[in-house]
Structure 1
Amino acid sequence: MQEVSLNLPPRPNLVVVRAGERSLHPRWLNRSYEARTFDLVVSYFSEAAYARHKAEPGVRAVLIRGGKWDGLFNTLTTLPELDRYDYVWLPDDDIATDGETIDRMFDLARNYELAVCQPALTRDSYFSHFIFSQCRAFRLRYVNHVEIMVPCLNRALLKRALPYFEGTMSGFGLDYIWCRWPESGPFRAAILDDIAVHHTRPIGSQLKGAINSAGSRAQDEEGVLRARVGLNKGRVVPLAYAGITIDGKSIDRQVAMGWTMFRSWLSDLGSFRDSRLALKKTLQVLKRQHIKHLDLGLLEDGNHGGEAMLQCYRIAPPNSPMKN
């Protein structure tokens, strides 16, 4: 383990990244340790990258082989001080961003009392679901799905989720399961459109080879996770069921969210790297918002959690004042 000891107050937030030889995490450290609100643990899966690590204040380096999520399990369970952090961000190592954006993410998560959230993606990002692209009509959107690419979890939800990291390299299934545990639930999972990060490499470009080498399949790992919470039905599609607009207004209907996202993306299609693809995906999101069933029934280990609709949890979306 490599770290620089400091006689400074502990940060309230933690970033943990599984890092290879092309990791972009040095860009996240553009602010001094005194100025930022987070510590960083770099969990290398590459011996060569670990050997080249440069010690910095507030940064710890460890070498742990494996995939992203089993590696995170083995990293996080060795941190005796984990309980002191309010929020923990678990980004991929190909995320281009800076310390100001990361600090802003933690502020937003805390201000809106979120259990799990993620920054939106920039218009030039590689994506798996278009709905996670930044939608400039919103400050944030409440969703049933937070990507395993860049999730930020509060302390209570991380405690619940951590045992599920063990034994899965891909983390497939976590993205929608952790939005339905009692520690999260309705209006506590969100995309943060107030900020955006750049996902610089194709989805799964590095992970797929590692999983195949281990003789596993991401889909099989997802099946195991689903079975643990009794989630037996088909594919879970990302949906936005409520949001807070850029001018502070609340929208709390799935169809209304669909139209607001559609109009916002349509108004600046030219800002996307591929505007034709963006139009196609915008229409796909709109269609899903109209026809897909939203299930936010709470999940527990070993039971089916119910198939309750959002109306069972009908509460007013929080509209917390912003803190600068």
Structure 2
Amino acid sequence: MKPVLIVCRAESAQQAPEWLFASNLGYRGMVSQYGANADTRHHICTGGKWIGICNLLQTHPELLNEYEYFWFPDDDIETSPEDISQFLKLAQNEGFKLAQPSLTPQSVYAYRLTISNPRFNFRRTNFVELMMPLIHRDLLLQLLPIMSDKHAALGVDWVWHTWVSSPMKQVAIVDSVQMGHYRPRNKHLVSQMKKRAIDLVQERENTVKELNVKPYQQRAHEGELVQGERVKGARLKLQVVLGYFSIRHEVTQQRWGLKQYLTFIRTEK
């Protein structure tokens, strides 16, 4: 596995997740701090997640030459060094340029597609969210000038999958590695931004206009089943629905009805 740089934004180095610095399994962890009690031995930049990440990489441009892959998880992701290493290895072996681990069924989530599906090792998708993306250097170099003035970058994840060289092959959600997210969505970020009089709603509206973001249905178009078989088309849709139906009682946030299952089998327009 090629070395991977993990950058995590946290209020302080002391509040960074334990897994960030806990491994020598092929990745290096760095913390970018935004809080009042930041440790001067680590990177410091006030503001949101993406402004801080971009500032770190602008301050240390040598990192872009040293690493081919970069992972940017939120600080409230619950995982282990072993699961991180497994995710990074699979993503590199499959040649993904934009990917994420899946979420445990009990997680607080925004998109149903990101919940782990027990029938799959991974699904090639048209969507990866901002919560914990693995980004190849080629895509990251395109993103840096776009993200450098954005705190939350809401809306960018609706278009960035189109900027890899082969979107149908290089964008994926890895089901065989689940990670937990149990903090209420956006509350911590919104409260931090309000303290600095930063309007995330306006930022999102500006991003939508800037990038001409259009709504679409997030979906998988190919996948590898746990037995190793690759599926697409009607077979893929059936396996997706059956997999999610089998864990319906484990999904504790925003339970699904018939309408939600139908979104996985609807033909894309």
Q: Would you say the 8 A contact 2:238–2:265 is kept in 1? A: no
Tell me, yes or no, if structure 1 residue 236 matches structure 2 residue 204: no
Q: Could you say if the C-alpha distance between residues 30 and 215 of structure 1 is closer, same or farther in structure 2, counting changes exceeding 3 Å? A: closer
User: Which one of 260, 267, 270 corresponds to residue 239 of structure 2?
Assistant: 260
After superposition, residues 107-256 of structure 1 pair within 5 angstroms as 107-231=89-213, 233=214, 235-253=215-233, 255-256=234-235
Task: Name the SS of the counterpart of 2:184 in structure 1.
Answer: coil
Higher relative contact order (CA 8 A, sep 6+): 2
Partner residue, 2:51: 70
State the Cα distance separating 1:28 from its structure 2 match: 3.8
Partner residue, 1:46: 35
State the Cα distance separating 1:200 from its structure 2 match: 2.4
1:10-41 Cα distance to aligned partner (Å, 9 max, x none)? x711000110258452134333x3xx211111
State the Cα distance separating 1:171 from its structure 2 match: 1.2
Task: Name the SS of the counterpart of 2:59 in structure 1.
Answer: coil
Q: Would you say the 8 A contact 1:157–1:184 is kept in 2? A: no
Larger radius of gyration: 1
Task: Name the SS of the counterpart of 1:227 in structure 2.
Answer: helix
Q: TM-score, normalised by structure 1?
A: 0.75
1:135-183 Cα distance to aligned partner (Å, 9 max, x none)? 0100111111101000000110111111111121111112121100143
After superposition, residues 3-22 of structure 1 pair within 5 angstroms as 12-20=3-11
State the Cα distance separating 1:241 from its structure 2 match: 1.6
State the Cα distance separating 1:214 from its structure 2 match: 4.1
* Structure 2 gap segments, 5+ residues each: none
Task: Name the SS of the counterpart of 2:168 in structure 1.
Answer: coil
Q: Output the CA distance in 1 between the equivalents of 2:49 and 2:202.
A: 16
Structure 2 counterpart of 1:18, one-letter code:
R
User: Which one of 19, 37, 40 corresponds to residue 26 of structure 2?
Assistant: 37
Partner residue, 2:18: 26
Task: Name the SS of the counterpart of 1:278 in structure 2.
Answer: coil
Q: Output the CA distance in 2 between the equivalents of 1:261 and 1:144.
A: 15
Partner residue, 1:278: 255
Structure 1 counterpart of 2:22, one-letter code:
N
Q: Output the CA distance in 1 between the equivalents of 2:184 and 2:267.
A: 27
Q: TM-score, normalised by structure 2?
A: 0.89
The alignment yields a C-alpha RMSD, in angstroms, of: 2.3
- Shifted more, 256-265 versus 22-31: the winner is 22-31
Q: Would you say the 8 A contact 1:20–1:44 is kept in 2? A: yes
Q: Output the CA distance in 2 between the equivalents of 1:185 and 1:69.
A: 23
Q: Would you say the 8 A contact 1:20–1:93 is kept in 2? A: no
